[in-house]
Amino acid sequence: MKELSGGITAVPGFLASGTYSGIKKVEKKDLALIFSEKPCTAAGLFTKNEVKGAPVIISQRNIKKGIGQAIVANSGNSNACTGKQGTKDAEEMAALTAKALNIKSNLIYVASTGVIGEPMPMEKVRNGIANAALRLSKEGGRDAAEAIMTTDTFLKEKAVQIDVGGKTITIGGIAKGSGMIYPNMATMLSFIATDAKIASSDLRDALKAAVDKSFNMTTVDGDMSTSDMVICLANGVSGVSITRNKGYKDFQDGLNYVCTELAKMIVKDGEGATKFVEIRIKGAKTFNDAKKIGMAIGNSNLVKTALFASDANWGRIMCAIGYSGVKINADKIDLFVDNVKMVGNGIGLGKEAEMEATEVLKQKEFAITVDLRLGKAEATVWTCDFSYDYVKINAAYRT
Amino acid sequence: MKELSGGITAVPGFLASGTYSGIKKVEKKDLALIFSEKPCTAAGLFTKNEVKGAPVIISQRNIKKGIGQAIVANSGNSNACTGKQGTKDAEEMAALTAKALNIKSNLIYVASTGVIGEPMPMEKVRNGIANAALRLSKEGGRDAAEAIMTTDTFLKEKAVQIDVGGKTITIGGIAKGSGMIYPNMATMLSFIATDAKIASSDLRDALKAAVDKSFNMTTVDGDMSTSDMVICLANGVSGVSITRNKGYKDFQDGLNYVCTELAKMIVKDGEGATKFVEIRIKGAKTFNDAKKIGMAIGNSNLVKTALFASDANWGRIMCAIGYSGVKINADKIDLFVDNVKMVGNGIGLGKEAEMEATEVLKQKEFAITVDLRLGKAEATVWTCDFSYDYVKINAAYRT
């Protein structure tokens, strides 16, 4: 596997653009367009929130055929809780994009992220889509990544080349997300392209597997959004066929890598985050047990504020393990931060270990490892700390 | 029902004290003793956290016989994750208390709250218990309430007299709690006394019902503690018998009132809280559905930071309803803050309603009402907002 620079347009046959259409109050890019010169097989995963944005509903409908060719996405307005007008607006966005690109509107995926409950400013969107279509280019991937940002502080893109039986395919993607990040969904917006030739059913399985180990293993604040969506388009331009019997594992590895790197970027850019924390749960009876415990730790405000303060308060971690809903044996638990063992057999190992751990927690990135010593299953969850700035950002979001 | 001043020692036959024994680093009361001159029937509810403090385990063992006469409780150290030594220490606390009061040690309940994972300073505790026993008095209820405080900013006590068939019984209690507050447990420490004569099985049922509608309907930060405990002692001194056929409803009403008032005080004193919010869910299919939705709203960091900022960002409330795990119809939902309707049939009612709502949210106390319009079940949850100070308090807790 070889990393490429760039993201979605590092994949042959894909063009993109990102422009300012006026949806955002400040003049920052707010409309992204991604276009494959050839029709693609397509797979998508969507938020499990019962309250869904109108674009989610439209895109879920279109994904059923397993084909697609373009994605239109805006930031600044999520078009959620907007009733029938919202649905009409999302459908119009698909129709306008289809017209500008001269393709059918059921090949279009629509995604919106931003404030919930405000009508889409369609006059601006209409001009925006026309403009974005004119600006599509091979270099536009970065602009597209920028145009889907909301409270994100940096743009998120990743691309890799992988070798499949001596031939090369490319997988590239972009993502956005910073707050309202919680798993059990397809997570925030992420768009992934590949030039592999792969049936939509296989693409869906590979995407589901990749998302379950990447985006779905992250948490920033425990709030599951109404607009989360991951779409993957495969245009087959490489001429390399991926089937269950040929190249599937290589493709899966590449897809996992791109999704995991994008997911980690989202957590690193967590609202107000000052630290990136990998939580490794080992020795669980099942993957689900391990994930539940990792998420209980990763979602605990008390753990996260302690991490912010570089306070080696392992009692809060033990407490979160205890309420995770998983049957454990507290007297067996070992706990490490990086290589420093803080807890052995459920009991703290004293002041010296705590002082060493404090030094680890002062770093920008570190790992917390919990060994339950009950079985062989493992899971890795990514989270961030919880600082004053999370409150600041979210108290001020709409002002 | 008539409110009395005071708390636990407003109940005839109960004495209490609260002293400084040196468990806390700062000189603030840290050891509470509650004693009934006569043996009592007893009921208790305990944390459901898999990681339990040693005192929880001891008290759970003693409660099985349904009798009790004294409670010894300390703040400053939770004696949790302290291994076999912790269990020995909790047993010694019970034994010391029994000796000082000249009663059997299986009549003693032990409770500890504070930092997790540090050994109990038993030398200090030994002197403290002897001292606390000497200071037991009719006026000591307030001191006991003070001695169980950790990050609490005010002490929590409540007492009522109720009329049962022309005779009077008294119910009084104290509680502590400010952070690590989340339901599905018996919640933080609360000790309740009554001079009613009631069998321990009936007392347990009444206590469970009261706690389910009070402490278990609150959330501050979604973190369930390792040390939560509610103990109720009934000494029968009033001579008034409560049975399923006689006075039970009156007793239940009184117990509900005391528990609800104490639970609300805990939320009002939530770490960093600037606002107290009642969340009323109406029109649900079941109580559990209503509670789940109320808790999803009450636990959402995004909702709580918006409340802190007096931002009428109802989209975040809709989002939390959507991920609560309850099947809903978003297009039916009505949403109010106090009497201001903000959302009708799932859609925002515009800028004017939002401006009125903003005024409501500037108050110290208000209600959010969600009508799902799916059924007749209701639930009320109490929560607080989420401010910079929550982060400050919990980033600095051990320093």
Residue A232 structure tokens: 């993957």
User: A198 with A241: CB under 8 angstroms?
Assistant: yes
Model confidence pLDDT, tens digit, residues B20-72 = 999 998 899 999 999 999 999 999 988 888 888 899 999 999 999 999 999 99
CB atoms within 10 A of CB B104: 14
The 10s digit of each residue's pLDDT in A90-148 is 999 999 999 999 999 999 999 998 888 889 999 999 999 999 999 999 999 999 999 99
Residues of B involved in catalysis: 187
Query: In angstroms, rounded to a whole number, what is the distance separating the alpha carbons of residues B321 and A356?
Result: 43
Q: Are A226 and A53 a contacting pair, CB within 8 Å?
A: yes
- Tell me the helices (H) and strands (E) count for chain A, helix number first: 11, 18
- Closest CB to B328 among A50, A319, A390: A50
DSSP assignment string, A239-287: --EEBTTBBHHHHHHHHHHHHHHHHHHHHHT-TT---EEEEEEEEESSH
For B117, the closest chain A residue by CA position comes to A315
Q: Do A391 and B388 touch (CB under 8 A)?
A: yes
CA distances from residue A21 to A26, A111, B19 in whole angstroms, order as listed: 11, 15, 66
B80–A391: do the CB atoms touch at under 8 Å?
A: no
Q: Which residues of chain B are within 8 Å of residue A324 when distances are taken between CB atoms?
A: 50
Closest residue in A to B297 (Cα) is A223
Closest CA in chain B for residue A345: B83
For A48-67, write each residue's pLDDT tens digit: 888 888 999 999 999 999 99
List pLDDT tens digits, range B334-374.
999 999 999 999 999 989 999 999 999 999 999 999 999 99
- Residues in chain A within 8 Å Cβ distance of B78: 315
Question: CB-CB: which of A179, A313, A318 is closest to B51?
Answer: A318
A&B contacts, CB < 8 Å: 212
**Between chains, do A81 and B331 touch, taking CB under 8 Å as contact?**
no
Average pLDDT over residues B80-85: 91
Nearest to A391 among B81, B82, B387 (CB): B387
Q: Do A348 and B318 touch (CB under 8 A)?
A: no
CB contact under 8 A, A322 and B52: yes
| Chain A CB contacts of B347 below 8 Å | 81-83, 117
Inspect the interface and report whether the beta carbons of A80 and B391 lie closer than 8 Å: no
Test mutation, B150, B151, B347, B391, chain A, max A CBs within 10 A: B391
Residue B10 above 60 pLDDT? yes
At B166 the pLDDT is 92
Distance from CA of A290 to the nearest CA of B (A): 15
Which residues in chain B are contacts of A320 at CB distance < 8 A?
Answer: 223
Contact between chains at A117 and B78 (C-beta distance less than 8 A): no
CB contact under 8 A, B315 and A388: no
pLDDT of B182 > 60? The answer is no
Greatest alpha-carbon span in chain A: 68
Alpha-carbon gap: A261 to the closest alpha carbon of chain B (Å): 26
pLDDT of res. B183: 40
B103 pLDDT tier (thresholds 50, 70, 90): very high
Contact A319 B223 (CB under 8 A): yes
CA A128 vs CA A32, A143, A239, B49, B367: distances in Å: 9, 14, 34, 53, 41
Binned at pLDDT 50, 70 and 90, residue B187 comes out as very low
Proportion of chain A in helix, strand, coil states, percent, rounded to 5: 35, 30, 35
Substitution target from B313, B323, B324, B335 for chain A, most A beta carbons within 10 A: B323
- Tell me the ipTM for this assembly: 0.74
Residue B395 has its nearest CB partner, among A115, A308, A392, at: A308
B395/A182 CB distance under 8 A: no
| B347–A315 C-beta distance less than 8 A | no
Report CA-CA distances (Å) from B314 to A23, A180, A181, A396, B320: 20, 15, 18, 14, 10
A contacts of B314 (beta carbons < 8 Å): 81, 117
Distance from CA of B312 to the nearest CA of A (A): 10
CB nearest A316 (choices: B52, B116, B308): B116
Q: B63: Cβ–Cβ under 8 A, 6 or more apart, which residues? A: B42, B43, B44, B109, B231
Partner-chain residue, chosen from B117, B222, B309, that has the shortest CB–CB distance to A301: B222
**Shortest CA gap A49–chain B (Å):** 5
- Residue among B186, B236, B200, B235 at smallest CA distance from B65: B200
User: Is the pLDDT reported for residue B157 higher than 70?
Assistant: yes
Is residue B276 within 8 A of residue A77, CB to CB? The reply is no
What's the confidence (pLDDT) of residue A177?
Answer: 79
Average pLDDT, consecutive stretches of 10 residues, N- to C-terminus, chain A (399 residues)? 94 96 93 96 87 91 95 93 94 98 96 89 96 97 94 89 93 81 53 94 93 81 69 93 95 93 86 90 96 91 90 90 91 96 93 94 96 96 86 67
Place of tokens 């066929």: A241
Cβ contact, residue pair B299, A222, below 8 Å: yes
Q: B106 to chain A nearest CA, in Å?
A: 25
DSSP string, B358-375: HHHHTSSEEEEEEE--S-
Chain A: closest CA distance from residue B79 (Å): 11
Q: What contacts A368, CB < 8 A, 6 or more positions away?
A: A277, A278, A279, A280, A297, A317, A335, A336, A337
Strands B2-4 and B156-164, by their bridges, are antiparallel
Chain B CA closest to residue A77: B315
Chain A residue with CA closest to B182: the answer is: A323
Nearest to A83 among B316, B328, B346 (CB): B346
Contact across the interface for A391 and B391, Cβ inside 8 Å = yes
List B218's β-bridge partners, or say none: B382
Q: Is the pLDDT of residue B186 over 50?
A: no
Residues in A closer than 8 angstroms to B222, CB to CB, are 222, 299-301
Q: Which of A51, A115, A299 faces B322 most closely, judged by CB atoms? A: A51
pLDDT at residue B225 in the model = 64
Higher pLDDT among residues B133 and B186, named by residue: B133
**To which H or E segment does residue B129 belong?**
helix B122-134
Mark whether A187 is an active-site residue: yes
Q: Which residue from B58, B18, B52, B51 is spatially nearest to B34, judged by alpha carbons?
A: B18
- What is the percent of chain B with per-residue pLDDT over 70, rounded to a whole number? 95
A82, A97, A151, A187: which one is catalytic? A187
Looking at beta carbons, which residues of chain B come within 8 Å of A118? Answer: 348
At position A355, the amino acid (one-letter code) is M
Q: What pLDDT is recorded for position B213?
A: 87
Distance, CA of A96 to CA of A84 (rounded, Å): 18
Provide, as residue numbers in chain A, all residues whose Cβ is less than 8 Å from the Cβ of B81.
Answer: 315, 318, 330, 343, 346-348
